[in-house]
């Protein structure tokens, strides 16, 4: 068997990380299917709830770490689905604010059950989850630095 080089090992580790993230995403999609709510839209509802109404698309983009362009597409689909509405800021006319509609509030309540994520995370002990979190934070800070972003300006997600 050929020896695995350091660069291959690191790459494999990232692919595994990527896979796990996708696997949990798919479990979440399956869970939300009965409400007809895509997992990414559920994520955005959590962000709006966390930041408060009148959040801007740029704030959402920073929180879910997607490009502004792709966030704009997600929001437009959510407007179409009647979950949020976009309004122009009263003072800065070129600033868009996003607010949850009554239908969005209802969808948020449905999305609050997150058994899929909980069940998968429960495969780690409380101690292991702490360790996992600290390893992820180290990678996150280093990764943001590599991208030229100050980690302090992008606090870790806290949806509570």
Q: Which residues bind a second copy (CB under 8 A)?
A: 2, 4-27, 30, 43, 46, 64-66, 114, 116-124, 128-129, 131-133, 135-144, 146-147, 156-160
Is the Cβ of residue 86 or residue 159 nearer to a second copy in the bound state? Answer: 159
The residue (of 83 and 111) whose beta carbon lies closer to a second copy is 111
Nearer Cβ to a second copy, position 14 or 85? 14
Three-class SS of the chain: CCCCCHHHHHHHHHHHHHHHHHHHHHHHHHHHHHHCCCHHHHHHHHHHHHHCCCECHHHHHHHHCCCHHHHHHHHHHHHHCCCEEEEECCCCCCCEEEEECHHHHHHHHHHCCCHHHHHHHCCCCHHHHHHHHHHHHHHHHHHHHHCCCCHHHCCCCCCC
**Closer of 12 and 106 to a second copy (Cβ):** 12
Q: How far is the CB of 148 from a second copy (least distance, A)?
A: 9
Min. distance of Cβ 95 from a second copy in angstroms?
A: 25
Rounded least distance, CB 51 to a second copy, Å:
14
């Amino acid at each position: 068997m050929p020896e695995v080089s350091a660069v291959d090992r690191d790459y494999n580790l990232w692919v595994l990380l990527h896979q796990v993230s996708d696997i949990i995403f798919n479990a979440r999609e399956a869970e939300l299917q009965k409400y007809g709510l895509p997992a990414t839209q559920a994520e955005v509802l959590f962000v709006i709830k966390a930041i408060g109404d009148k959040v801007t698309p740029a704030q959402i983009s920073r929180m879910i770490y997607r490009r502004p362009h792709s966030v704009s597409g997600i929001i437009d689909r959510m407007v179409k689905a009647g979950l949020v509405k976009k309004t122009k800021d009263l003072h800065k006319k070129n600033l868009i604010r996003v607010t949850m509609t009554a239908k969005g509030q209802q969808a948020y309540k449905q999305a609050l059950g997150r058994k899929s994520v909980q069940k998968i995370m429960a495969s780690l002990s409380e101690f292991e989850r702490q360790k996992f979190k600290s390893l992820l934070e180290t990678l996150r800070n280093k990764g943001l630095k590599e991208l030229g972003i100050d980690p302090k300006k992008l606090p870790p997600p806290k949806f509570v």
